[in-house]
Amino acid sequence: MASLRYLLLLSFCLILADSAVSQGSNPRQIADGIYSYQGPTGYISMFVVTGDGVIAVDPINTGHAEGLVAAIEATTNQPIRYLVHTHNHWDHSGGGKVFKDEGATVIAHVDAYNWMKANPHPDMALPDESWGGSEKHIVLGDKTLQLNHFGASHGHGMTIPVVAGERVGYIADLVAPNRLPFFFMPDFTVAELERTLGEILNLDMDRVVYTHNANSDPLAGGSRQDVADTLAYLQDLRAALAAEIASGTPPRLASDAVRLPKYEDWAMYDQWLALNAWKIWLEGHLGPF
C-alpha cells in the first residue's frame, strides 16, 4: 500500500508539474511567424512559419504531434520542412514519425541522437539527421533558426533554438517560469545547468516559449528574465544549503531545513524545495552524475 500511495503522490506531482491549460487561442502567435502550441498533456511546442515551409520544435508524443501538425495546417498551407528535437528524453522525443509522414526532416543533436539510437521507445522514431558541436543554423525562407548546444545540463544534446533576429527562443526542461526545478532534478547536472543558464543569458533572445511553466497564461511564454530568476534560485539554494551545514546542521538533515522565502510563491515550493536541495548536496558529495 505504501508504494501505491507513493505512486499516487508521484502522479499527482507530475500532473501539477505540467503547465496549466491555457485559455485563449491555441496555437498562439508569439511574434511574426512564430507560434506556441499546447498539446493534450500540457506540454508546449513552438513552430516557425518561414515563407518557404515550417520548422517545428519538440513533438513530445504521437497525440501531441498530431495536434501540432493540425495546428500548423490550420495556420498556413506551407509544408512542414523540419522538426527539431530539444533533447533525448522519451517524454519530449516521442511522435517524430508523425512529422516524417508529413515529409519533414527530423533533426537532433548527435548526443541526443546516439542516446535515442541506444534506447528505443515504441513512440520514438530515430531522427533523419544529427548535428554536432555548439551551433547550427537552419536557414529557410525569411527566417534563420539558430540551434545552440552548451554541453551538459539536462539529458543529452540539449538544444536551445533561437529565431535569429526575432529574439524569440524555446527552452525545454532547463527553466520552468514561476515553478521550482522539477522534482529531484532527474538527469540534471546542477553545476552544469547553472553554467548553461549563464550561457543562455548571453544569447540574443528576449522572449521565450517554455515547454513547462506555471504562468497564468502558459502559451504566452515568458522572457529571458525567467532564465536569470532560475539561475538566481539555484545559486541562492546552494548558498542556503552551505550556510545550513556551516551552522552545524548535519548534511543529511540540512536539505530538509533550508528555507528560501523569496521563492515561496513559486509553484511546488513546499513539495520540491527539499528535493532540489538534496540533489545539490548529493552532487557535491558524489560528484556529477
Q: What residues make contact with Zn ion under the rule CB under 5 A?
A: 89, 155, 173
Based on CB atoms, which residue is closest to Zn ion, 211 or 215?
Answer: 211
Residues 6+ apart with CB under 8 A from 187: 89, 154, 155
Based on CB atoms, which residue is closest to Zn ion, 170 or 260?
Answer: 170
Q: What are 27's three cell numbers?
A: 496555437
Q: How far is the CB of 31 from Zn ion (least distance, A)?
A: 25
Based on CB atoms, which residue is closest to Zn ion, 85 or 224?
Answer: 85
Q: How far is the CB of 86 from Zn ion (least distance, A)?
A: 8
Q: How far is the CB of 189 from Zn ion (least distance, A)?
A: 13
Q: How far is the CB of 14 from Zn ion (least distance, A)?
A: 13
DSSP, residue by residue, 58-92: --BSHHHHHHHHHHHHHH--S-EEEEE-----HHH
131-147 core/surface letters (b: 16 or more CB in 10 A; e: else): beeeebebebbebbbbb
Based on CB atoms, which residue is closest to Zn ion, 185 or 260?
Answer: 185
Based on CB atoms, which residue is closest to Zn ion, 184 or 257?
Answer: 184
DSSP, residue by residue, 204-249: S-SEEEESS---SSGGG-EEHHHHHHHHHHHHHHHHHHHHHHHTT-
Q: How far is the CB of 43 from Zn ion (least distance, A)?
A: 11
